[in-house]
């Protein structure tokens, strides 16, 4: 049963979800994940609220967790402008690149 379910969801041979047209897939991204820092000690981590339901509350809790458990890490909370599902935030991403060492994008629900 499980293998049938998996093959209906994703078929690795054709690289798409069963039942969806090829146009349902985005092109491969030209972007890659940044390398992880060896440590977060004395680093600045941006906590980005994407606007998805519960994201702001989660980021507040995450910031409190860092303050309690990793006080040597500076956290900066920011709200991504626009909607959670669309739009870019070039000014915010520029700030993170210039002033931050890492970022966590918050999605909650």
Tell me if 3 is assigned to some domain: no
Tell me if 60 is assigned to some domain: yes
Residue 72: which CATH number? 3.40.50
**pLDDT tens per residue, range 7-18:** 444 545 555 555
Average pLDDT over the chain reads 78
* pLDDT of the residue at 1: 43
Domain range holding 96?
28-106
Residue, of 16 and 46, whose pLDDT is higher? 46
What b/e readout covers 22-52, taking b as 16+ CB neighbours within 10 angstroms?
eeeeeeeeeeeeeeeeeebeeeebbbbbbbb
Count how many domains the chain has.
1
Tell me if 15 is assigned to some domain: no
Tell me if 17 is assigned to some domain: no
- Does the model's pTM come out above 0.85? no
Distance CA(3)–CA(88), nearest Å, equals: 38
* pLDDT of the residue at 27: 60
Smallest CA-to-CA distance from 58 within 74, 44, 75, 43 is with: 75
Tell me if 22 is assigned to some domain: no
Tell me if 77 is assigned to some domain: yes
* pLDDT of the residue at 6: 40
Tell me if 74 is assigned to some domain: yes
Tell me if 1 is assigned to some domain: no
Among 4-8, 14-18, 60-64, 76-80, the minimum mean pLDDT is found in 4-8
């Amino acid at each position: 049963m499980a293998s049938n379910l998996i093959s209906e969801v994703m078929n690795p041979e054709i690289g798409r979800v069963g039942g969806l047209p090829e146009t349902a897939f985005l092109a491969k991204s030209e972007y890659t994940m940044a390398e992880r820092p060896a440590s977060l000690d004395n680093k600045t981590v941006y906590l980005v609220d994407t606007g998805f339901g519960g994201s702001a509350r989660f980021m507040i809790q995450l910031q409190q967790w860092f303050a309690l458990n990793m006080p040597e890490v500076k956290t900066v909370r920011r709200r991504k402008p626009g909607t959670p599902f669309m739009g870019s935030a070039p000014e915010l991403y520029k700030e993170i690149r210039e002033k931050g060492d890492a970022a966590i994008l918050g999605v909650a629900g």
